[in-house]
Amino acid sequence: MLHAILDAGLVAHVAVQDESGQPYVIPVGYGRRGDDVLFHGSTGSRLFRSLAAGQPTCLTVTLLDGLVLARSAFESSMNYRSVMVLGVARRLSGDDELDALRAISEHLLPGRWADIRHPSAKERAATLTLALPLDECSVKVRTGGPEDLEEDVADPVFGGVWAGHVPLTESFGAPVPCDNNTAGLTPTYIETWHRPAP
Amino acid sequence: MLHAILDAGLVAHVAVQDESGQPYVIPVGYGRRGDDVLFHGSTGSRLFRSLAAGQPTCLTVTLLDGLVLARSAFESSMNYRSVMVLGVARRLSGDDELDALRAISEHLLPGRWADIRHPSAKERAATLTLALPLDECSVKVRTGGPEDLEEDVADPVFGGVWAGHVPLTESFGAPVPCDNNTAGLTPTYIETWHRPAP
């Protein structure tokens, strides 16, 4: 389940704090390679350098699957799958870093890495790639309908309120070529791209 | 734009840390009332009590709008809208708290508050409701296609790679009534529920 949730997400939120103790929650694209979650930032980013220097962090991936509509405000909720990873990230380098960048690219759009230009030495120097081990994780999943209090279900007024859940799914629109695109056909790996179902 | 992004999201990610300095990034449903973002947790949660006690926090809302497919890995990106709010949350109480709970409910599903049972005294005692002012915010938006290097566009191999972007949208499935639902018709505010478009 841990791997399945991570493999189904596109964006993670990562915690980092500055010298004053002010926390930041930063959205990042990410990937997974075995039992590491991988993400990258700019070597120019002070916050990313703090993570590379060993600051404890938390990376959370949340997939929102729907609204849960109970008869009471208190029992109303959301369906979701989430993973919270706690730990210290390590900076990757050399061929290991290049392979991690490949893994992130292939996570976001499988098949793309074979087509595109890989990072140059200059681009590599501007990229800080981090691996956070999946050693300490919390997985939470909520599915299905509401769990109303019996007294609300039996209530003459609130018992008659529509109760259930509304699924929420991500969908992908038609690919939009940019103005200087010269490729005649859209590659199959783009046309058929979708995230794993819940 | 700040308000529009917050009004279009459903889940925020909030930073909080424990006594040891370990940060956590927690997904929360939220709402907005004027220039406050509102969210709630359990009074039994040590982490939420830390926020109520004045620990500096960050709340981030990220709306992922698509993948940006450049001809190089380095220029590949995502389209998104995000808001990062920094500051200290304050705990709400009394009628002000009840109105905030209404605002969160109405943010997630407009129209629902009029139908459902409002929180009892016991439920209120279990709920910790926080307001984070929109005083210090960072808004980031990326739209459109890739910005490839000229040399990649001109390259005999990479210039021919399909380049553009793929939109990603949330969509809502048909409402699923729970087993003990007795309401014959699904209310219009549920049938027509959708998030504001980008």
The alpha helices in A9-138, defined as continuous H runs, are: 46-52, 94-108, 121-125
Say what the pLDDT of residue B169 is: 85
Q: Is B66 exposed, middle or buried (0-12, 13-18, 19+ CB in 10 A)?
A: buried
Identity of the residue in A13, A80, A176 whose CB atom sits nearest the CB atom of B164: A176
**What DSSP state is assigned to residue A92?**
-
Pairwise CB contact (< 8 Å): A182 & B160:
yes
Pairwise CB contact (< 8 Å): A82 & B10:
no
Please give the residue of chain B at the shortest CA–CA distance from A184.
B162
Q: Which of A108, A100, A107 is nearest to A132 (CA)?
A: A100
pLDDT tens series, chain A, 198 aa: 999 999 999 999 999 999 899 999 999 999 999 999 999 999 999 999 999 999 999 999 999 999 999 999 999 999 999 999 999 999 999 999 999 999 999 999 999 999 999 999 999 999 999 999 999 999 999 999 999 999 999 999 999 999 999 999 888 889 999 999 999 899 999 988 876 555
Q: Which of residues 6-25 of B touch A (CB under 8 A)?
A: 10-11, 13-17, 21-25
Long-range contacts: B19-25, Cβ < 8 Å, 24+? B21/A56, B22/A56, B22/A58, B22/A86, B23/A15, B23/A16, B23/A17, B23/A23, B23/A56, B23/A57, B23/A58, B24/A15, B24/A58, B24/A84, B24/A86, B25/A13, B25/A14, B25/A15, B25/A25, B25/A58, B25/A59, B25/A60, B25/A84
Please write the tens of the pLDDT for every residue from A82-118. 999 999 999 999 999 999 999 999 999 999 999 999 9
Q: Which of residues 148-167 of B touch A (CB under 8 A)?
A: 148, 152-153, 155, 158-167
| Reported pTM | 0.96
Please give the residue of chain B at the shortest CA–CA distance from A74.
B119
Q: Is A74 exposed, middle or buried (0-12, 13-18, 19+ CB in 10 A)?
A: buried
Please tell me the number of Cα atoms within 13 Å of B90 on its side-chain side.
8
Pairwise CB contact (< 8 Å): A155 & B25:
no
Q: Which of residues 36-55 of B touch A (CB under 8 A)?
A: none
* Residue A35: CB atoms within 10 Å: 12
Q: What is the DSSP string of B20-53?
A: TS-EEEEEEEEEEETTEEEEEEETT-HHHHHHHT
Identity of the residue in B67, B73, B78 whose CB atom sits nearest the CB atom of A117: B73
Please give the residue of chain A at the shortest CA–CA distance from B64.
A11
Q: Which amino acid appears at position A74 of this protein?
A: F
Query: Three-state SS for A189?
Result: helix
Say what the pLDDT of residue A153 is: 97
Question: Which tokens go with A118?
Answer: 């890989």
Q: Is B95 exposed, middle or buried (0-12, 13-18, 19+ CB in 10 A)?
A: exposed
Identity of the residue in A16, A22, A180 whose CB atom sits nearest the CB atom of B56: A22
Domain ranges for chain B: 2-191
Q: How far apart are CA B83 and CA B61, in angstroms?
A: 5
Chain A nearest CA to B172, separation (Å): 5
Q: What is the DSSP string of B128-180?
A: EEEEEETTEEEEEEE-SS----HHHHH-TTGGGS--EEEEEEEEE---EE-TT
Query: Is A108 an 8 Å CB contact of chain B?
Result: yes
- What's the angle, vertex CA A156, arms to CA A150 and CA A160, rounded to 5? 80
Pairwise CB contact (< 8 Å): A59 & B155:
no
User: Which residue(s) pair with A60 in the sheet?
Assistant: A13, A84
Averaged pLDDT, groups of 10, chain B, 198 residues long:
96 95 96 98 94 97 97 97 98 98 97 97 97 98 97 97 94 92 92 69
* Residue B58: CB atoms within 10 Å: 27
User: Which residue(s) pair with A177 in the sheet?
Assistant: B164
| Probe site for chain B from A5, A10, A11, A13 (most B CB atoms < 10 A) | A13
Q: Which of A56, A54, A60 is nearest to A80 (CA)?
A: A60
Whole-complex ipTM: 0.96
* The CATH number of domain B2-191 is 2.30.110.10: yes
Say what the pLDDT of residue A193 is: 84
Q: B113: which chain A residues are within 8 Å (Cβ-Cβ)?
A: 73
Say what the pLDDT of residue A127 is: 97
Please give the residue of chain A at the shortest CA–CA distance from B174.
A166
Distances (CA, A) of B39 to A6, A73, A123, B28: 25, 14, 40, 7
Q: B24: which chain A residues are within 8 Å (Cβ-Cβ)?
A: 15, 58, 84, 86
Chain A nearest CA to B168, separation (Å): 5
Q: A190: which chain B residues are within 8 Å (Cβ-Cβ)?
A: 69, 162, 166
